[in-house]
Amino acid sequence: MRMSYREALRLALREALQNDARVFLMGEDVGRYGGSYAVSKGLLEEFGPERIRDTPLSELGFVGAGVGAALGGLRPIVEVMTVNFSLLALDQIVNSAALLRHMSGVGGVGQLGSTGGGMGQRAGGQFSVPLVVRMATGAGRQLAAQHSHSLENWYAHIPGIRVLAPATVADARGMLAPALADPDPVVIFEHAQLYNLEDELPDDWRCDIARAAVRRAGAQASVFAYGGCLPKALQAAEELAAQGVEVEVVDLRVLRPLDIDTVAASVRRTHRAVVVDEGWRSGSLAAELIARIVETCFYELDAPPARVCSEEVPIPYAKHLEEAALPQVPKIVAAVKELLNV
């Protein structure tokens, strides 16, 4: 069946709501408007306002309500309109959702250790926070600097949460169910340029949210990408193949914890690595991945790892400048050819 990335996300939401009465969706404009990207269109009429809940414009408030609902035994899916708005809820995600399991000792919250103190002096584990936070991310839509962030690496830095980046129709369909089954919070980044992407939904669309995925086999270099950069990496691989260069394309898709086993296996096959990351170069996820590659595969490398990242500037509004600031297919092709000296 052919469908869009948006439709695949909607199918996953509908299935979750049908299968588990504890599941509900909340966020800005998810109900009557159908979601800022039309992902939840029609769900309010199907499931009612108790389970498709429009919220005020207060990310701190409604993400916190989601944390509380998860602690109370529900399975909330919280939609944050775009990643930049999630900055208003960082305390709820990073300091509450990610850490409450580790702050809830066997004697209860507030259990004192032998030296006194406050919450969480003993080993945690009494509470879990089965919360899913979905948010749009990325640039390329001429929304200028304040609505074009790629902050996946910020969240991938935080222990206590799982970070996912579906880049295919199949993963858009398959990631939500295992995310809801996770007893700990999961943050799902949906690149805004992918919502209109169309592809065939395979019969086996179920997804392992612990593993990266090899999307194209190749022997001369490994190209690692995620989210909105995956289609660019695959297009670059097609152009390189036309020039006689075969590269392997690996979809990272699980950004925390990184699947280093799959990454290392690819590097050991090809002996070269290029990482494509829409985040800025400094402090990027690409930098972390390259560090891991060097730590695990240094003697397998035939050339220094390379990365293609966004330029170190706030994302411009003008279309030609925005395109110049972001990773693009020609930049990926050039990076691979430089590694191969061709």
* Residue 247 reports pLDDT greater than 50: yes
Rg of the chain (C-alpha set): 21
What is the predicted pLDDT for the residue at 107? Answer: 53
Helices 260-270 and 285-297: angle between axes, nearest 10 degrees: 60
The one catalytic residue among 28, 59, 79, 190 = 59
Interval 102-122 mean pLDDT: 50
Determine the average pLDDT of the residues in 115-141.
75
Between CA 64 and CA 92 the distance in angstroms is 6
Does the pLDDT of residue 228 top 70, yes or no?
Answer: yes
The rounded mean pLDDT for the chain is 94
pLDDT at residue 51, as a whole number: 98
Residue 164 is predicted with a pLDDT of 98
Instruction: State how far the alpha carbon of 249 is from the alpha carbons of 186, 268, 270, 278, 309, in Å.
Output: 25, 14, 11, 16, 16
Q: What percent of the chain has pLDDT over 70?
A: 94
Q: How large is the average pLDDT for residues 151-156? A: 96
Q: What is the pLDDT of residue 119?
A: 39
> Residue 261: in which H helix or E strand, if any?
helix 260-270
Q: Which of 7, 28, 79, 147 is catalytic?
A: 147
Q: Give residue 124's pLDDT band: very low, low, confident or very high (50, 70, 90).
A: low
Cα(66)–Cα(57) distance, rounded to whole angstroms? Answer: 14
pLDDT at position 108: 47
Which residues touch 77 (CB under 8 Å, ≥6 apart)? 13, 16, 23, 24, 25, 26, 132, 134, 176, 180
Listed in order, the ranges of the chain carrying CATH 3.40.50.920 are 213-340
Q: Which CATH class is domain 2-200?
A: alpha beta
Domain 213-340 has CATH 3.30.465.10: no
Burial class (CB in 10 A: 0-12, 13-18, 19+), 296: middle
Q: Which two tokens stand for residue 64?
A: 């916190």
Amino acid occupying residue 21: A
Query: pLDDT tens digits, residue range 20-47?
Result: 999 999 999 999 999 999 999 999 999 9
pLDDT at 83: 95
Cα separation, 56 vs 59, in Å, equals 8
**pLDDT reading at 256 higher than 60:** yes
Rounded mean pLDDT, 179-208: 96
Cis peptide leading into residue 314 (ω within 30°): no
Mean pLDDT of 168-179: 98
Non-local (6+) Cβ contacts of 119 within 8 A are: 103, 109, 110, 111
3-26: pLDDT as tens digits: 999 999 999 999 999 999 999 999
CA atoms within 13 A on the CB side of 122: 13
Name the segment(s) of the chain with CATH classification 3.40.50.970: 2-200
Pick from 7, 8, 40, 13: nearest CA to 177: 13
Whole-number pLDDT of residue 111 = 43
Q: Does the pLDDT at position 141 exceed 50?
A: yes
Is pLDDT of 264 > 60?
A: yes
59 flagged as catalytic: yes
Binned at pLDDT 50, 70 and 90, residue 123 comes out as low
Q: Are 117 and 144 in contact (CB under 8 A)?
A: no
Q: Which residues contact residue 113 at a Cβ distance below 8 angstroms, ignoring those fewer than 6 apart? A: 121, 122
What are the pLDDT digits (tens) for 319-329?
Answer: 999 999 999 99
Question: Dihedral of the CA atoms 188, 223, 247, 342 (nearest 10)?
Answer: 150
Instruction: With a cut of 70, say whether residue 55 has pLDDT above it.
Output: yes
Q: Is 102 a catalytic residue?
A: no
